[in-house]
Structure 1
Amino acid sequence: MTTALSPAHTAAGPAPAEDPARAPGVGGPSLAAARPDPADLDPRRALRELAHWRAGTREAACFPYDAVLGHYRTVGKNAVGAELLSALRAVAAEAAPVPAGPAARLLADWLPQVVDGTHGDYDSYLGSPVYASLARTGTPTAQVLAALLGDLVAVEAATLAGAPDGRARTRAALRVLAATAQGGAAAVPPNGADDPAALAEACTRAVRAAREAVPDGVLRAVELTLTPTTRSHDELMFIRVIQIFEAVFAAVARSVGAATDAVAAGRGEAAREALEGARRHVAWTSGVFRVLTTMPKDAFAVIRANTDGRSAVQSTAYRTVETTSPELHRALLRSEVEAGELTPVMRELDDAWGAMKRTHWGITMKVIGAVRGTGGTAGASYLREAAEARLFPALG
C-alpha cells in the first residue's frame, strides 16, 4: 500500500500550517492540542519524571510513559525538543540487548517510536515492533483489531459535542467495530441522525464491550503506539487506520504461509480454512476504507508534509503477502491435495485482495490526486499498476 496510506513530503515547499481556530475534531486540532494540560504542554514534567526514573530502580514497568506521551500528543512528535529526545535516546541506548520480561520488552519495542525525531520510517511511525511482539507471543489478531478500533471510536466520539462534522467518521468507525466479535453487536444510529449524544452513547457501549474482551496488556501496548507527528486530530485517525491495515496484512501473510505449509503436508482442509480466514480479513477492510475517506484534503496535506520518509511501501507484511502467495500455488502443484479443493478459495482471496487495492487507488485519487507518491513511487499510477498484479497469477 502507498500514498493514501503512506504520507510523504511533497516538493511544493514547507508543511502546510494547521488551523488553530478550528474546533477539535475532523479538520482541526486534537483535543490534547486544543485544550492542553499545562503540564503536558511544557516538556519539563516529562524530563523530571524521566530523570527520576533513571536515577531510581529503572524498572521498565515504572517507566513514565504517561508524562512522555502527554507531551508528545500535545505538541506533536515533530515539535518535541532536543533535550527530551536526547534523554529518551539515552534510555534506548542503555536498554538490554535481550530484554527480560514483558515490561522490558514493551519498553524496548516502544522507544524507537519516540526517538526517531523527524527521520523515522514506516515501522517507527506505526510502532511495528510492539505489534510484532504481540504476534510472537500469540496475541490473536482479533484482540489487536478490537483494541485499535475501540481507541479509534473513543477518540472520535470525544469530539462529537463540539464538532458535529465528525459524526460521519464516528458512525463509520462504530460500524467497523460493531462488525467485530468484540464490538458487542453495537446499535449504530442511522445516517442523518442529528443527536450527537445518542451516537456518543452508542460509542461508549461498543468501546466498553470491546475493551472488556481484550487483555489489559494488549490495551496498554496499543495505547502507547499513538504518537502523532502533528497536532492534527485527523492524524490520530490516520495512524490507527494504517495500524489496522498493517495488522490485517500481517494476519493474511501468516495465513498464506500456514496454508502453504498445510498443502506441503497434504492437509487440504487446514489450508482451505487458513485461506478463508485470510479472505475474511481482507474483505473486512472495506469498512475501514470508509473511515479513511472522511479525511479532508487539507488535513492530509498537513500530515503528508510532516511525515517524510514514512512510506507504507516499506510495509514488510504487505510485501510478504504479495511475494509469497505464488509459493502456495507452486506447493499445490507438487502436493497430493486436489487443486479443486483450494482453487476456489484462492480465487476468492485474490479477488478480495485486488478489490482492496483498487479501493485504495480510488481513495488516493480522491484525497491527494496525481501527486507523486512515497518511496519514489509515481503515486496513483503506481497504485493502479499494483492493483492489477494478482496473488496467484498462474491460476489464470
Structure 2
Amino acid sequence: MISETLLEAEQKFVRSGVIGVGGTCLQAAEATTDELSGRNIENALRQWEAGHAEFPHAAVAAHYQTVGRNGVRPHLVAMLQNFHNNNRAHHVLGAWLPMTFDAQDGDYLSYVGLDYFDQVVRSDDAQRVDAFVAAAAMDLALLEARALGRSAHAPQVVRTRAVTRVVTQLDRLAPDFSLDPSVAAAGLAALAQPGADYSSFASHAAPALNGVPEEIGSAVRLTLLPTTRLHDEQMFIRCIQIFEGLYRQVATAISMAIRDLRHGLAAAAKSRLDRASIRLEAVPALFRVLTTMPVDAFSIIRGFTHGRSAVQSRAFREVEFACAPIDPRDFEHSGKIDVGDTTLQDVYLSMRKTHPDAHVLEEAMRRLDRAWVAMKRGHWGITLKVIGTVPGTGGTAGASYLKNAAMVSLFPRLSEVA
C-alpha cells in the first residue's frame, strides 16, 4: 500500500502550480473534471464490453497519464483486470493490460511495458527497435517543448535543451532508423539560440514521430503509464525505455558477433561491436536529461515504484552474460539467465593466436568495454546525485552496489592477454 505521507507529498507537488520539471504533468494540469474522474473511460469500457466499439487503448492510456496508476479508481482497475483475465488469447491486449492493474504487485517489466514491447516491437528487429528508440526520444522532446510553452521556468528550459540534444544524437543512438535530417537540423538550430521557443523544432519532430510505423508509434504512446501525476516521472519512463532499446541492440550485436566468429568472420564481428559502441558512446546525452530530475521529485517517484529496479532488466544482463563468464556473486540480485554455451570472451581467447584479424577484434572489444563501463559509471554518478547513499531498489545497496558494478569489466581476461 502507498503511505499517506507519500500521497501527501505527491499532492503538494501537484498543487504547487508548477507545470513541468518539479511539478505536475501537462495532462493533469489540462484535464477536465470528467477526465480526472474517469467517467469517460468507464463509459468507453462498458461500450467495448457490450461489443459496440474497439478497445479504447488510447483513452485508457490518456487517463492513466492524467491521474497516474495509483490515482485510477479501484473499480476501473478491477474492470481492466477482469478484461485481461477474459482475453488472454488476444496476445497484444494481454501483454498491455497488466500495466493497468499492477500498482501493488508490478515489477520493472510491467512498469516500462517490456512485455508489450516484445509483442509489438520485437527485439530481434534492429530497425523496429531503433524506430521505438527514436519515437520515444521525439515524443519526450515534444512533451518537454509543450511544458516549456506552459511554464518557461529555468529548470524546464534546461530539460528541454537536454532532450532536444538527445534527438540530435539519434543518428548514433538509433542508427537503423532513418530520421528526417531536418529534425536534427532544427534541433541544433534551437540549441544554438539561448532564448529559443522550440516551435520550429517541434514542427519538424511532430511529423517525423507520426512517420514511424503505426504499431511502433502506438507502443510508444501506450507504454507511458506513470504511477504519479509528476511530470518528471514521464521523462523518467521515457529515458528508461530508450535505455532498454539500447541494451537490446547491444545484446543482439554481441550474440551476432559470436555467430560471426564461429564462422571465422572477425571483421564482421568487429563491425557489429563498433556499431554497438557508437550507441553507448552517445549515452551521455541521455544522462544529461536524467540529471534534470529534482531530488525531491525522484524521492516521491521512488516511493511509488519501490521494488521496480532496473537491475531486473533482462537485456542489460544479456549483455554482461554474453560477454564473459559471470561470478555468481555478481548476479545475486538479478538471477542468472541463459544466453548460450559460449561467451564472446571465450570465442576470442580460442582464436586469438591463430586468426589473423584477432587483434582487430580485440580493439573492438576494448572499445565496447570502455563504453559500457563508462555508462555504468554515469549511472552510479546520477544515483549519487538523486538518491545519495540510501539503500537501492531490487534488494541492492543502492549507489554502493552500482559503484561496485561499474568497476566490473565486460571482458576481464583481456587484461591478461594485453
- The question of whether the paired residues in 2 share the 8 Å contact of 1:26 and 1:163 is answered with no
Aligned partner letter, 1:354: V
Q: Distance in 1 between matches of 2:116 and 2:281?
A: 25
| Residue 390 (structure 1) shift | 0.5
Partner of 1:330: 346
Partner of 1:151: 139
- The question of whether the paired residues in 2 share the 8 Å contact of 1:229 and 1:306 is answered with yes
Q: Alpha-carbon deviations, 1:24-78, whole Å to 9, x = none?
A: 11100001111212232112221221121122167xxx21113212321111101
- The question of whether the paired residues in 2 share the 8 Å contact of 1:186 and 1:206 is answered with no
Equivalent position to 1:114, from 83, 97, 100: 100
Aligned partner letter, 2:56: P
Aligned partner letter, 2:160: T
Partner of 2:22: 27
Equivalent position to 1:70, from 45, 50, 62: 62
Q: How does 1:55-66 map to 2 (within 5 A)?
A: 55-56=50-51, 62-66=54-58
| Residue 183 (structure 1) shift | 5.7
Equivalent position to 2:265, from 264, 267, 278: 267
- The question of whether the paired residues in 2 share the 8 Å contact of 1:358 and 1:387 is answered with yes
Q: Distance in 1 between matches of 2:147 and 2:5?
A: 31
Q: How does 1:1-396 map to 2 (within 5 A)?
A: 14=6, 16-17=9-10, 18-19=12-13, 20-56=15-51, 62-97=54-89, 99=90, 105-133=91-119, 134-136=121-123, 138=125, 139-164=127-152, 165=154, 166-181=156-171, 182=179, 184=181, 185-187=184-186, 188=188, 189-190=190-191, 193-195=194-196, 197=197, 199-212=198-211, 214-326=212-324, 327-335=343-351, 337=355, 338-396=357-415
| Residue 140 (structure 1) shift | 2.8
Of structures 1 and 2, the one scoring higher in RCO (CA 8 A, sep 6+) is 1
TM-score, structure 1 normalization: 0.89
Tell me the number of residue pairs that the alignment of Structure 1 and Structure 2 aligns.
375
Aligned partner letter, 1:380: A
- The question of whether the paired residues in 2 share the 8 Å contact of 1:28 and 1:234 is answered with yes
Q: Distance in 1 between matches of 2:384 and 2:315?
A: 24
From the superposition, tell whether residues 95 and 257 of structure 1 become closer, same or farther in structure 2 (CA, over 3 Å). Answer: same
Match of 1:135, SS state, is: coil
| Residue 192 (structure 1) shift | 7.1
Q: Distance in 1 between matches of 2:168 and 2:210?
A: 13
Partner of 2:332: none
Name structure 2 gaps, 5 residues minimum.
Answer: 172-178, 325-342
Q: Distance in 2 between matches of 1:148 and 1:302?
A: 23
From the superposition, tell whether residues 207 and 374 of structure 1 become closer, same or farther in structure 2 (CA, over 3 Å). Answer: same
| Residue 362 (structure 1) shift | 0.9
Instruction: Select between 321-330 and 236-245 the one with higher mean Cα deviation.
Output: 321-330
Q: Distance in 2 between matches of 1:261 and 1:156?
A: 42
- The question of whether the paired residues in 2 share the 8 Å contact of 1:253 and 1:320 is answered with yes
- % same residue: 41
Partner of 2:330: none
Match of 1:289, SS state, is: helix
Name structure 1 gaps, 5 residues minimum.
Answer: 1-8, 100-104
Q: Distance in 2 between matches of 1:176 and 1:136?
A: 22
Match of 1:250, SS state, is: helix
- The question of whether the paired residues in 2 share the 8 Å contact of 1:251 and 1:278 is answered with yes
| Residue 106 (structure 1) shift | 2.8
Match of 2:147, SS state, is: coil
Aligned partner letter, 2:122: A
- The question of whether the paired residues in 2 share the 8 Å contact of 1:285 and 1:356 is answered with yes
Q: Distance in 1 between matches of 2:20 and 2:292?
A: 12
Instruction: Select between 291-300 and 107-116 the one with higher mean Cα deviation.
Output: 107-116
RMSD after superposition: 2.1
Q: Distance in 1 between matches of 2:27 and 2:287?
A: 26
Q: Distance in 2 between matches of 1:28 and 1:201?
A: 25
